[in-house]
Amino acid sequence: MNQNPYQPIAGEVTDIIDESATIKTFVVVPEEEFKFETGQFVELTLPGEGEAPFTPSSSPAETKKMEITIMKAGRVTGLLHQCKKGQKVGIRGPYGNGYPIDDFAGKEVYIVGGGVGLAPIRSLFLTLVDRIKDFKSVVCRFGARTPDDLIYKKTLFGAWQKIAGVEMKLTVDEADGDWKGNVGVVTTICDKKDVDIKNAVAVVCGPPIMMRFATMKLLEFGFGPKDIYLSMEKNMSCGIGKCGHCMLGKYYVCKDGPVFTYEQVKDYRDIWA
Amino acid sequence: MEAVFTKELKPFLDAVAERMELYVPKKAGDYYVFKRYEPSDEVAAEFNNIRACTPVKEFLFPLCELAAVFPKTVEPEDVKPFAIFGLKDCDLRSIEILDKVFAEEEFKDPFYLKRRENMFVISSDCSEPGESCFCTVLDGRPYADSGFDLNVSQVRDGFVIEVGSEKGKGLIEEHSQLFSEVPEVLLSERDEDRSETQKQLEQKNAELRFDTPIKEIVENSQESEVFDVEAKNCVECQACTRICPTCHCFYLYDTKQKDYFAKMKMWDSCMRQAYAEVAGGANPHKVLGDRIKHRLMHKFVYFLDRYGIEMCVGCGRCVDADVGGMDLREVLKKLSEELKDKGKKKAKATK
């Protein structure tokens, strides 16, 4: 094993899938075996340019390649969006704790996601679906700004809807002519009766504002703070709990997270910023 | 613990310098900084009565270093054994803090480890602590009793050298002709000097002896306005974090070289506005007052929760370096007063 935690392993982008105007999925094949658990993140290096943290959107069961869904949001992601197939990249990780899916067994899993937050959720979803019988049900409430911004459209409207044990509703903030579904923020498709709250856990991932309102809604429904799992987005850099950038109170999001229960972080004022 | 006596410092330091690179305190203006020992210099070395103004972290965790090469791999460069003379108890305690982060966790920093293993520590007693020194408030002392290979105390007619490790013992034994037995009277004189200096420090910092633990004072300041008030004096020069011997935030950045790519590791500062900002623009510490608060929380609350010690040794370097006039001691006093007032108000309300 590599003793230098700052050393990436080499990988290659073998395919790039356009998901929306600002979001692309990169298929990355690492040169060495690379295992991760769903919800953990990696540091992806564009050699010579920079590094940024992403939670893979593919299933951890897939060990030969990994998919990373990236929104164009800053300098490194902007440069990544200009890359072509064959681009060499560096990968460090996996880092952090991932979703404690064994603890979800026997329960209803209520997943609320928005925008590019569907990326980590896709990995979780595929992991749950692989052993769907272990869970009472998987209930999804996904949203995006417009129909065009909904990522993974093919599977969202196709295969995923047909899986036994999965129930899914979609919404957009602003509809266009063809949209026949719900219009409104994601909390407008969430209902107290969606799951049996006493025997359910909730997973929330999306833009900070959406996470905030979704969490408040879930608390209102009666979810306990310990049963709401949040995937926190902070400025993770070293990935190993040293450089300090991602600190959230006493936690290093990179090492103690990125998945936290609301209970763990609720007393810090800066969680949604 | 074993100790020996020597009349002169120079032959001892020459002996150290024969074995390894030696750094000694040299006066630069009003302060001491560490410079490479030159035996031929007119004043080759002097005994620093106070800590140097630069932090010891520079030797273990340099301002900027190569962290990785891509696609090749890089091994930590071969660090030659080196010694530093004139480190103080506060410096040794800052090493203990950095060790927690870089040498003891699940992920170890190989570059730090390499330097740490090759470092020979020759500490010395403080006999003239500075105006800004407040180590005693944080359980520090003007002398070290562990964490060194050798410790030097200045006494009448010479120096007492105490052995703190096998490495230190080896060096003394190898040059036994330079040393003699310590007269008992000099040892008691040293101990008296030490307690005298400690007493002075404690008296000077009496106002900082709070009834409530500092952790509790800072932890209860989440809603305090003190930080925003302090922010008015702060010019965001970041000197406090650079010169702090325990601040260890860093920044990884990638560069293109002629035939390879390099990942560099460089000191960063939590006082910088974009420090915690994410690509989407969200920034939990956009406001300067919040950054000052986070820095104090990290030092006195979060680090303590995680590692069991405070991330401050009371060396006062940040006080000396601050351009805008923010004084950590004054901030702690204000927060303590505020907490007392809160307590009084609460007591009144429940009556």
Amino acid type, B64? C
Structure tokens at A88: 């060499």
pTM, two decimal places: 0.93
Residue B91 touches chain A, beta carbons under 8 Å: no
Query: What residues contact residue B190 under an 8 Å CB cut-off, 6+ apart?
Result: B125, B153, B155, B160
Nearest Cα residue to A258 out of A69, A108, A105, A120:
A120
Number of domains observed in the structure of chain A: 2
Closest residue of B to A240, CA-based? B107
Chain B: give the shortest CA distance to residue A217, in Å. Answer: 22
Last residue of a domain, one of A45, A63, A95: A95
Which stretch of DSSP H or E encloses residue A203? strand A200-205
- Cα atoms in the Cβ-side hemisphere of radius 13 Å centred on B36: 5
Q: Give the Cα separation of B190 and B143 in Å (integer).
A: 10
Does any domain span residue A50? Answer: yes
Structure tokens at A19: 């998901």
- DSSP letter for B142, please: S
CATH number at residue A90: 2.40.30.10
Residue B275 touches chain A, beta carbons under 8 Å: yes
Q: Which of A1, A2, A7 is the mutation pick for testing B, counting most B CBs within 10 A? A: A7
Chain A: give the shortest CA distance to residue B183, in Å. Answer: 47
Strand ranges in chain A using DSSP code E only, listed in sequence order: 9-18, 23-30, 41-46, 50-54, 66-71, 88-95, 108-114, 137-144, 166-172, 182-183, 200-205, 228-231, 247-248, 251-252, 259-261
pLDDT 10s digits, A207-257: 999 999 999 999 999 999 999 999 998 999 999 999 999 999 999 999 999
Does any domain span residue A82? Answer: yes
Does any domain span residue A260? Answer: no
Lookup result for tokens 């030490």: B194
Which stretch of DSSP H or E encloses residue B304? helix B303-307
Nearest Cα residue to B116 out of B126, B101, B127, B129:
B101
A93 Rama sector, left if φ>0, alpha if ψ -120 to 50, beta otherwise? left
Per residue in A169-181, is it b (16+ CB within 10 Å) or e — as a string? bbbbbeeeeebee
Interchain CB distance below 8 Å, B254 and A208: no
Can you give the pLDDT at residue A2?
Answer: 55
pLDDT 10s digits, A151-208: 999 898 889 999 999 999 999 999 988 898 999 999 999 999 999 999 999 999 999 9
Residue B337 touches chain A, beta carbons under 8 Å: no
B51, B91 in Cβ contact below 8 A?
yes
Q: Give the Cα separation of B332 and B117 in Å (integer).
A: 36
Structure tokens at B156: 């009448």
Structure tokens at A249: 């109170």
Chain B: give the shortest CA distance to residue A33, in Å. Answer: 16
Q: How many CB atoms lie within 10 A of CB A111?
A: 22
Q: Is the preceding peptide bond at A147 cis, omega within 30 degrees of 0?
A: no
Same domain, A152 and A198: yes
Q: Which of A91, A270, A271, A272 is the mutation pick for testing B, counting most B CBs within 10 A? A: A270
What are the C-alpha distances in Å from B158 to residues B39, B48, B179, B197?
Answer: 19, 14, 11, 19
CA quadruple B330, A267, A102, A111: dihedral sign: negative
Chain A to chain B Cβ contacts (< 8 Å): 127
Q: Give me the residue from A10, A237, A273 closest to B252, CB to CB.
A: A237
Does any domain span residue A72? Answer: yes
B244, B268 in Cβ contact below 8 A?
no
Q: Give the Cα separation of B234 and B243 in Å (integer).
A: 16
Closest residue of A to B248, CA-based? A243
Q: Give the Cα separation of B30 and A213 in Å (integer).
A: 56
Lookup result for tokens 């007269």: B183
Lookup result for tokens 């209860």: B220
Where in the sequence is the domain holding A88, given as residue range(s)? Answer: 9-95
Can you give the pLDDT at residue B258?
Answer: 81
Q: Give the Cα separation of B310 and B93 in Å (integer).
A: 10
CATH number at residue A116: 3.40.50.80
Same domain, A183 and A211: yes
Segment 93-112 of chain B within 8 Å of chain A by CB? 101-102, 105-110
Which stretch of DSSP H or E encloses residue B162? strand B158-163
Q: Give the Cα separation of A169 and A183 in Å (integer).
A: 11
B210, B180 in Cβ contact below 8 A?
no
Does any domain span residue A186? Answer: yes
Segment 11-30 of chain B within 8 Å of chain A by CB? none
pLDDT 10s digits, B121-162: 999 999 999 999 999 999 999 999 999 999 999 998 899 999
Residues of chain A with C-beta less than 8 angstroms from the C-beta of B275: 235, 245
Residues of chain B with C-beta less than 8 angstroms from the C-beta of A94: none
Q: Which residues of chain B have pLDDT under 50?
A: none
Does any domain span residue A271? Answer: no
Residues of chain A with C-beta less than 8 angstroms from the C-beta of B294: 247
Same domain, A47 and A145: no
Can you give the pLDDT at residue A1?
Answer: 42
Does any domain span residue A66? Answer: yes
Does any domain span residue A174? Answer: yes
Amino acid type, A226? K
DSSP lists the bridge partners of residue A248 as A251
Last residue of a domain, one of A73, A95, A117: A95
For the ranges A85-94, A120-129, A221-230, B100-109, which has the lowest average pLDDT? B100-109
Last residue of a domain, one of A95, A123, A140: A95
